[in-house]
Every structure is written in C-alpha cells, then in structure tokens.
Amino acid sequence: MLAEANLDAIRPLTDQLRSMALKPVGQLDDAKATEEERGAIVESLCETRAGLLRESGNYADSAAVPILDGKILRYTPKKNCADNSPGYESKGFFDANLCPPWDTWICFAGGELLTYVPRVLGGLAQRGVEVDTAECIRWADRTLLTTLFAI
C-alpha cells in the first residue's frame, strides 16, 4: 500500500521553509556528528541568512524584532529515532528525521537546535510534537528563553 500511496500529497509543507539558498552543509541528525559540528552547521546557515537579508536590505536588529506571536521549538538531534509520524502529522513541517525546516533555525546550544515556529504553523507543529515518541521535539519554556536571549 505504501508503494502506491502518494505520501508527499499529504505533506504539503515538505518543500516549504527549506530554501535552497539556506540548505545546510551537513546533517544535524548524523550520529557521527559532534556537538561542535552541529553548532557549526547551524551557525553557517544563520550567517548565510544574515548575509542574504543584508544584501536584500531586509536585515533588522534582532533586539528590534518581536517574536510576533510565534513560539520557539527545541529539537534534540541525538534523541532522533527517524519516526515519520511527526512529519505526517505536521503535514511536512518536520522532515523524516523529525528536524524542523532549516529556514526556521535560530541557534544550536546545549545539544539542541532552537527554531522559530510562526503562529500560523503552530498547530501543525503541535500535532508533530504530540506524536513524537522519542521526545526529541518540544516547545521551549520561558526559563530557557530568558537564559539564552535575556528576554
């Protein structure tokens, strides 16, 4: 049945928020990757994004940018068990390795990737979080945000 099913049709977000200009140079969920290598992957992506925003005249001071009713999501690559359920439940917001789309990545700290989830996609992301049996995706609490971003 899986061979005949068009699984991409039920995951319309699979290619969204994954711009080719920001495609990471490595895999966060690579079991052989060190925390430093994962951090470097995310840092490189963020630097590329900042450069593209500067070139287009859309770069803003991060202190002046409000969260805009979105939420911060935590992804722990080491806990990943490659369960496709969150990807299907979130309509492709999470990939097959439970990783959020790279256009939403903020930073890598303490073994976790922090990502920004726009309010409009919060419900789909929540559905993915609810079916994540490995508990490698979850919402950041206010304490973590205060610690990392001094807000």
pLDDT in tens, 69-128: 789 999 999 887 777 889 889 988 998 888 999 999 999 999 999 999 988 899 999 999
Domain assignment of residue 2, yes or no: no
d(CA 39, CA 113): 8
d(CA 124, CA 2): 23
pTM over 0.85: no
Domain assignment of residue 80, yes or no: yes
Which neighbouring-strand residues pair with 72? 116
Domain carrying residue 65: 11-149
Domain assignment of residue 4, yes or no: no
Instruction: Please provide the distance, in angstroms rounded to a whole number, between the alpha carbons at the two ends of the chain.
Output: 49
